[in-house]
Amino acid sequence: MDLLLISITIVCAGTLTFFILRLLFNQTQYTIKLPPGPSLFHIIRNILELSRNPHIAITKLSKIYGPIITLKLGSRITIVISSPQLAKQVLQENSQAFSSRTVPYASRVFDQHKNSLTFLPLSAEWRNLRRHCATIFSTQMLDSTKVVRQQKLKELLDFIKEKSLNGEDLDLGEAVFTTVLNSISNTFFSKDLSHSTSDEKSQEFKNIIGGVMEDGGRPNIVDFFPILAPLDPQGVQARMSIYFIKLFKIIDGIIEERMCSRDSKIDSGSEVGNDVLDSIISNVGATSQLSRNEIRHLFLDLFIAGIETTVVTVEWVMAELLRNPDKLEKVREELCQAIEEDAILEESHISKLPYLQAVVKETFRLHPPGPFLVPRKCDEDACIAGFLVPKDAQVLVNVWAMGRDPTIWEKPNIFLPERFLNCEINFKGQNFELIPFGAGKRMCPGLPLAHRSVHLIVASLLHNFEWKLPDGLTSEHINMKEDFGLSLKRAQPLRLQAISIKLS
């Protein structure tokens, strides 16, 4: 269904339910106590912008109504938070009341919401999955697998060097996707899931994960009007079912192959492996360990969240640096001073690159992977900033708006990494003006791996190559428009031409 037809459907459904909504929300106990917000007519008038760029549209509303606003969308009350102080109240000080998730219909496919770390309530099952993630992303585990990531990065650099020598340009996001895919698959399974950037499997994975992120993040009329769920008017659930079937087929095949291989090794007295999958399989059926179904859903979560976030961030970093040549030159100078000429960049070098770290922070400020984080649900009536947040309300934390708020940041729309030099602000959940990975108990468990991967990939790209736009284009031609979904990716792929610095 094309965008025009979707828009017409939404507008008609909104108009049809207008009088019902008036009965629901007017003259109720919430009329005075709820945070301020736009009228239903205002929302209908701006429905196209809300469906295409909800982060921008809602940020505009927050500038009118304040840092906490109410949106009455269909049968759901949505509260939007747009300040660090109120975000802290929601994510930390009142974390118990806001610990649950709103479950979109797109995530109900194959009962993903009942098995996913992302959507499970704080329960024994959730804590068990969280413990496994803490082990997977622990410093000890990441240190033990850094050689794998180093090898995959070398393959990326070799691929780019070949393109450079042939005078060819490349889709940077596509190349980085294959690297991150194989880095994660080797960390988890000790095997590549793609053999080259142009490999069919890599393209299929990219299409699947991109589809999940796009359909899972864009507004779905069924979430506002559940009565339409059997019709699936936008086809979201149908497409998500196809994506999940394909991903589960790949993951189940790997698990089955590994279990057979392990049985064979055990029977012959050979030593079994020690990657993440081996560690989990070794304890299947044991107390507090994971079932086969939980394993497949866990890996599905980790692949979807881990790959896209890293790839999107690397693309935004490179785009911003190319648009700001003076910042790019500062990164190069730092790399030359910190890394010996013939040395191989390693994760241990990241701590020696404060300006690069500032560049990544500035990119997260302007281009957070998830502009609203993952939506929360209020489990009980709560009071935030003197307003009522009613039970079952959806709560969005608009980190995109906070990153561009002039009351928080000087020159907020300017790419200025220097603001983070000699500054204690980080993105690990303690500083609420910069929380691209969330904060509190439900912040993203994969942050340690994302931190290592983004810094190392960007540093390696800049340390080994100079970069320019193809076909004589200049930095002014770089399209910085965003494409809204679960991740805020670039609307247009970043095509670049590399010039090898190290010819040997």
Please determine, for residue 32, whether its predicted confidence score (pLDDT) is greater than 60. no
Task: State the pLDDT at residue 28.
Answer: 44
Residue 199 scores a pLDDT above 70: no
pLDDT higher than 90, residue 501: no
**Is the pLDDT at 504 greater than 50, yes or no?**
no
Of 486, 470, 488, the C-alpha closest to 478 is 470
Rounded distance between C-alpha atoms, residue 368 and residue 370, angstroms: 5
Residues making up the chain, counted from first to last? 504
Strand partners, 76: 73
Residue-level pLDDT at 272 = 60
pLDDT band at 291 (very low <50, low <70, confident <90, very high): confident
User: Residue ranges of the domains in the chain?
Assistant: 1-28+39-52, 53-500
How would residue 217 be classed by pLDDT, with cut points 50, 70 and 90? confident
* 3-state SS assignment for residue 384: strand
Q: Binning pLDDT at 50, 70 and 90, where does residue 16 land?
A: very low
Query: Binning pLDDT at 50, 70 and 90, where does residue 15 land?
Result: very low
Instruction: Report percent pLDDT > 90 for the chain.
Output: 63
Looking at the chain, the whole-number percentage of residues with pLDDT higher than 70 is: 88
CATH class of 53-500: mainly alpha
Q: What is the pLDDT of residues 66-114, one digit of tens each?
A: 999 999 877 789 999 999 999 999 999 999 999 999 999 999 999 999 9
Distance of alpha carbon 264 from alpha carbon 268, whole angstroms: 6
- Tokens representing residue 480 in the block: 């910085």
User: Which one has a higher pLDDT value, 44 or 269?
Assistant: 44
**Residue 286 confidence (pLDDT) above 70:** no
Can you tell me the distance from the alpha carbon of 231 to that of 82, in angstroms, rounded to the nearest whole number?
Answer: 34
Mean per-residue pLDDT, 202-207: 81
pLDDT value at 442 more than 70: yes
pLDDT at 260: 85
Residue 167: pLDDT over 50: yes
pLDDT of residue 4 exceeding 50, the answer is: no
Q: Could you write out the DSSP letters of every residue in 50-118?
A: HHH-HHHHHHHHHHHH-SEEEEEETTEEEEEE-SHHHHHIIIIITTTTT-EE---GGGGGGGHHHH-TT
- Give the pLDDT of residue 280: 83
pLDDT score for 22: 43
Q: pLDDT band for 267, please (50, 70, 90 cuts).
A: low
Tens digit of each residue's pLDDT (9 = 90 or more) over 246-255: 999 999 999 8
**For all residues of the chain together, what is the average pLDDT?**
87
For 335-382, the pLDDT digits (tens) are 999 988 777 889 999 999 999 999 999 999 999 999 999 999 999 999
CB 219 within 8 A of CB 51: yes
More confident residue, 318 or 44: 318
Across 383-403, b (16+ Cβ under 10 Å) vs e yields ebeebbbbeebbbbbbbbbbb
Answer whether residue 295 shows pLDDT above 70: yes
Distances (CA, A) of 422 to 59, 75, 342, 406, 426: 30, 47, 29, 20, 11
pLDDT of residue 265: 66
DSSP state of 390: -
Tell me: pLDDT of 12 over 70: no
Residue 5 — very low, low, confident or very high, per pLDDT cuts 50/70/90? Answer: very low
